[in-house]
């Protein structure tokens, strides 16, 4: 026999089992991240089909952290060439074709054979088109869907968002990126709810609409203007409202129309917001292209004649003209009303102002937390500069955009101060910002997160300490089984 006596045999068996037990114990304590393969990166894409242009955003995240973390990052943003898809109402196939260049760019950054969910959300431009021509709207969306189905992506649909959805998704994006809902705790090795979360409001200004979304103090009286959300196990009651026809492009059209009306249909009309010595000729028939300016007006028969708008560079006159675009009298003395009789609770907390809010103030160098007094002074000075002065000072700025900054800036002031009722103190709670890290702030990320169920209603499972690896446990079990089998075999040989 291979053992001199029974004592040596038992000692050998005990030694083998002890060694195997130690190995199994070590394996069972190995943390899961030490033994698993690197996680697969997943991707998603969303087209933001706005009123004036379309943009594509590609996002990525680790698949093993899909449902309970804030790890989504922006991989690509691509601006679609040409106007918004609503501009192709008379030639719908061009709406789909316009997306191809950005789709091609997206596929270059996404590995092949990935089941990439792809969405297109249309906003105020398509909402306006739907008011005018529902059949053309359907055709445009159909052509967009047709194009996207030609690409190797998991196309999930093209639809028009409501204004309230746009505002809510922008609010979700803002707070998701700022880790207001959940954040990773290295100590606990899990994602936790912040003890004192900073929930931000969201201010969005587009070409055809503007949105305000925030969590008010106290209760919201009118829940027709609110949303009740459950995210990561916590309830959020937010106020959100969207104002169609109050985006900056539609505002400029409405302003021009009002100035023409007040001039008694003259062919040359003074424009207080345009720089001195700047002229722009427009056709009155252009007002027919939007429901915002095509509404019946007994003061004016539009016709097809041309009118020349002559810049005056009048800062105070510009502000006064813009305020006339709002019906503030409909609110009376009510503190919880903006204009046109729209209910809004008092603004509270901090806000991120993005999109056109940011771009206009960035151009004027007003995104560094300047006081309201400084902002007013800067805008007033800018509005008095001549066209020659501005053209020579900003040679790289698009000539069709440069003369409109005065009107846009005064419009932002009116919207924030007179409509939303920010004041000297609460102004300091507005942060003009377009990105958090490398990711754009806007509604698209919140939209994708919602449709991919990446923000659960339930709170993440709180796990503390080491997480045993199923793989390691399985190996430990196999080793123990083999050890027992070996011991049994040796016993048979002894007998």
- Known active-site residue 262: no
- Asked if residues 387 and 271 have their Cβ atoms less than 8 Å apart, the reply is no
On whether the CB atoms of residues 181 and 234 are closer than 8 A, the answer is: yes
Q: Does residue 267 contact residue 305 with C-beta atoms inside 8 Å?
A: yes
Tell me which residue of 416, 401, 413 sits closest to 274, measured CA to CA: 401
> CA-CA distances (angstroms) from residue 293 to 192, 297, 302, 309?
49, 9, 10, 17
Tokens of 451: 């449709």
Please report where in the chains the tokens 């019906």 appear, as a residue: 327
Question: Environment class of residue 422 by beta-carbon count within 10 Å: exposed (0-12), middle (13-18) or buried (19+)?
Answer: buried
Inter-residue contact 281 to 307 (CB < 8 Å): yes
Sheet containing 54-62: give its strands across: 73-79, 54-62, 41-49, 117-122, 154-160
- Residue 369, classified by CB atoms within 10 Å of its CB into exposed (0-12), middle (13-18) or buried (19+), is exposed
| Contacts of residue 462, Cβ cutoff 8 Å, sequence gap at least 6 | 188, 190, 192
Q: Would you mind telling me the total number of residues written for the chain in this entry?
A: 495
| Per-residue CA distances from 18 to 24, 77, 290, 349, 487 (Å) | 10, 59, 83, 62, 12
Q: Which of 124, 109, 117 is nearest to 48 (CA)?
A: 124
DSSP state of 264: T
- Of 143, 165, 166, 250, the catalytic one is 166
**Helices 470-494 + 6-28 axis angle, to 10:** 170
Mark residue 247 as left, alpha or beta (left: phi above 0; alpha: psi -120 to 50; beta: remaining): beta
Catalytic residue ranges: 166
């Amino acid at each position: 026999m291979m053992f001199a006596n029974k004592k040596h045999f038992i000692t050998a068996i005990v030694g083998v089992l002890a060694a195997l037990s130690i190995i199994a114990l070590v394996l069972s304590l190995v943390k899961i991240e030490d033994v698993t393969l690197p996680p697969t990166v997943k991707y998603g894409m969303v087209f933001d089909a706005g009123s004036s242009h379309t943009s594509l955003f590609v996002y990525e995240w680790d698949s093993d952290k899909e449902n309970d973390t804030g790890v989504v990052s922006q991989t690509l943003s691509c601006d679609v060439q040409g106007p918004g898809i609503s501009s192709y109402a008379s030639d719908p196939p061009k709406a789909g074709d316009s997306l191809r260049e950005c789709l091609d760019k997206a596929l270059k950054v996404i590995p092949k054979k990935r089941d990439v969910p792809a969405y297109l959300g249309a906003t105020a431009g398509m909402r306006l088109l739907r008011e005018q021509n529902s059949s053309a709207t359907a055709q445009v969306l159909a052509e967009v869907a047709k194009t996207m189905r030609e690409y190797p992506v998991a196309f999930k649909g093209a639809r028009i968002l409501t204004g309230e959805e746009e505002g809510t998704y922008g609010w979700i994006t803002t707070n998701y990126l700022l880790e207001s809902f959940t954040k990773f705790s290295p100590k606990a090795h899990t994602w936790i709810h912040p003890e004192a979360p900073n929930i931000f409001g969201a201010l969005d200004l587009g070409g055809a609409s503007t949105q305000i979304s925030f969590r008010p103090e106290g209760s919201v009286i009118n829940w027709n203007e609110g949303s009740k959300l459950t995210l990561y196990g916590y309830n959020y009651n937010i106020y959100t409202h969207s104002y169609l026809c109050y985006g900056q492009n539609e505002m400029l059209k409405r302003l021009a129309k009002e100035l023409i009306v007040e001039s008694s249909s003259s062919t040359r009309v003074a424009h207080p917001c345009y720089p001195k010595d700047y002229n722009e000729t427009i056709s009155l028939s252009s007002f027919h292209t939007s429901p915002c300016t095509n509404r019946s007006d007994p003061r004016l028969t539009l016709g097809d004649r041309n009118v020349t708008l002559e810049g005056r560079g009048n800062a105070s006159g510009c502000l006064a003209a813009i305020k006339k675009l709002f019906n503030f009298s409909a609110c009376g003395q009510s503190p919880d009303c903006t204009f046109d009789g729209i209910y809004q609770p008092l603004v509270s907390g901090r806000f991120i102002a993005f999109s056109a809010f940011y771009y206009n103030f960035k151009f004027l160098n007003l995104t560094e937390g300047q006081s309201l007094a400084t902002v007013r002074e800067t805008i007033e000075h800018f509005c008095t500069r001549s066209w020659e002065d501005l053209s020579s000072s900003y040679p790289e700025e698009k000539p069709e955009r440069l003369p409109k900054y005065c009107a846009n800036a005064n419009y932002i002031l009116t919207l924030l101060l007179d409509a939303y009722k920010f004041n000297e103190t609460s102004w300091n709670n507005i942060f003009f910002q377009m990105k958090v890290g490398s990711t754009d702030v806007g509604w698209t990320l919140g939209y994708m997160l919602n449709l991919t169920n990446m923000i659960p209603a339930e709170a993440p499972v709180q796990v503390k300490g080491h997480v045993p690896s199923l793989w390691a446990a399985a190996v430990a079990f196999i080793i123990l089984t083999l050890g027992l089998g070996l011991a049994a075999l040796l016993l048979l040989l002894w007998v």
